[in-house]
Amino acid sequence: MAFIDPYGRTIDYVRLSLTDRCNLRCFYCLPKGTRGFAPSDTRLTFDEIERVIRAFAVLGVHRVRLTGGEPLVRKGVAQLVARLHQIPGVDDMSMSTNALLLEPHAEALFAAGVGRLNVSLDSINVERFARITNGGNLDHVLKGLFRARQEGFDPIKINMLVMKGINDDEVVPMARFCIENGFTLRYIETMPMGAGGMDAVSRYLPLDVVEEALKAEFNLIDDISSGGGPARYKRIAGSETKIGFITPLSRHFCASCNRVRLGADGTLHLCLGNSHSVGLREPLRQGIDDEELVALIRKAIALKPWQHNFNQPKTGVNRSMAATGG
Ligand code: SAM
């Protein structure tokens, strides 16, 4: 069954936030001192999550990404993956993680059905990584990455938020790191989201600047083989390494949006950069049946806006990426 929004876009992808909590405190996302995390009884249980994903699968969704917050701080993630992986129709399970806890989880996650990984990594300099993340241990991240590669996750994509004066001098070193280690690399523009993101907007760097810096070092070839997501890809000549540019601000890709986000509290967010949403937790807890749940989600999709609101002056989204399942 095709699941199509009012603008004719097919929605086949759900990003599922397992928690709004995180074991890092990146200054642009959940800065130190962040309060207001959702109480744990407002978090959807695994049973509730499974019901919602089954309903999405009935509607034609076949890709599910576990994210957060940090998905690996939620207990029992691999068991949840195994449950979601056997839902008829779900054929692609992936995860976005900061990889701090990846080393001990990699084997179980892969066995349970996560095939692809995105790892957020803004610096490969030990001190700087610790500064950006407020105490994160780069060594644990690297061990997690290498363990995941050994396990067989493919592809492993590094997501690097590029910020002026913070890590823009690491654009080329990060590319070399990915060439050497067989990772795909995606550069991302800073979005005005949540308290930390609003501050970080002064660090915004359009990615055409990054592309120019890369061209001075590498021969970049257009790569049309990689699709299905927001990145525009190039390949570095002489290597298999793909380099993606995710440009929500300088060149947005809303026309090809194929996704919705389920917050850890059961809020269905129809757009990352807008507040259109529908709460699924209360209906679930009040005994909605499976058919009604499918109907509710189908109705919700009618609210999906055409595009994000990030470029409107003084707007932005007063919700952190972590609460949204970014
Ligand atoms: N903990 C997981 C991780 O690290 O990948 C998943 C959640 S984290 C919120 C997902 C991504 O959102 C990270 O790559 C982070 O860099 C990015 N992010 C957070 N706030 C952002 C902002 N204001 N603009 C752009 N990206 C942001």
Q: Note the pTM of the prediction, 2 decimals.
A: 0.96
Which residues, in sequence order, are CB contacts of 192 under 8 Å at separation 6+? Answer: 198, 201, 310, 315, 316, 317
**If we measure between CA atoms, which residue out of 161, 154, 218 comes closest to residue 186?**
161
CB 4 within 8 A of CB 11: yes
Query: What is the per-residue pLDDT for 197?
Result: 65
- In CATH terms, the fold of domain 13-324 is TIM Barrel (3.20.20)
Instruction: Give pLDDT tens digits for 262-318.
Output: 999 999 999 998 889 999 999 999 999 999 999 999 999 999 999 887 866 555 566
Q: How far is the CA of 98 from the centre of ligand 1 (A)?
A: 9
Q: What DSSP string runs through 11-41? A: --EEEEES-S--S---TTTS-TT---PPPGG
Question: Is there an atom of ligand 1 within 6 Å of 17 CB?
Answer: no
**If we measure between CA atoms, which residue out of 125, 118, 116, 273 comes closest to residue 190?**
273
Which residues, in sequence order, are CB contacts of 254 under 8 Å at separation 6+? Answer: 306, 307, 308
Q: How far is the CA of 227 from the centre of ligand 1 (A)?
A: 21
Q: How far is the CA of 322 from the centre of ligand 1 (A)?
A: 7
Query: What is the per-residue pLDDT for 317?
Result: 66
Question: Is there an atom of ligand 1 within 6 Å of 96 CB?
Answer: yes
Write the burial class of residue 71 (CB in 10 Å: 0-12 exposed, 13-18 middle, 19+ buried).
buried
> Half-sphere exposure of residue 183, counting CA atoms within 13 Å on the CB side?
27
Instruction: Give pLDDT tens digits for 130-156.
Output: 999 999 999 999 999 999 999 999 999
**If we measure between CA atoms, which residue out of 11, 39, 45 comes closest to residue 281?**
45
Q: What span, in angstroms and rounded, lies between the C-alpha atoms of 113 and 6?
A: 32
Query: What is the per-residue pLDDT for 309?
Result: 78
Q: Identify the residue whose C-alpha is closest to ligand 1 atom 26.
A: 190
Q: Identify the residue whose C-alpha is closest to ligand 1 atom 9.
A: 322
Say what angle helices 138-151 and 171-181 make with each other, to 10 degrees. 30
Q: What span, in angstroms and rounded, lies between the C-alpha atoms of 273 and 315?
A: 10
Query: What is the per-residue pLDDT for 296?
Result: 98
Q: Where are the domains of the chain?
A: 13-324
CB 95 within 8 A of CB 117: yes
Place of tokens 């994000």: 308
Residue 126 backbone phi and psi in degrees, to 5 = -55, -50
| Of 114, 118, 161, best ligand 1 pocket probe by most atoms within 8 Å of the beta carbon | 161
Query: What is the per-residue pLDDT for 323?
Result: 76
Residue ranges in the chain modelled with pLDDT below 50: none
| Of 116, 321, 324, best ligand 1 pocket probe by most atoms within 8 Å of the beta carbon | 321
The token pair at 66 is: 């576990």
Query: What is the per-residue pLDDT for 308?
Result: 85
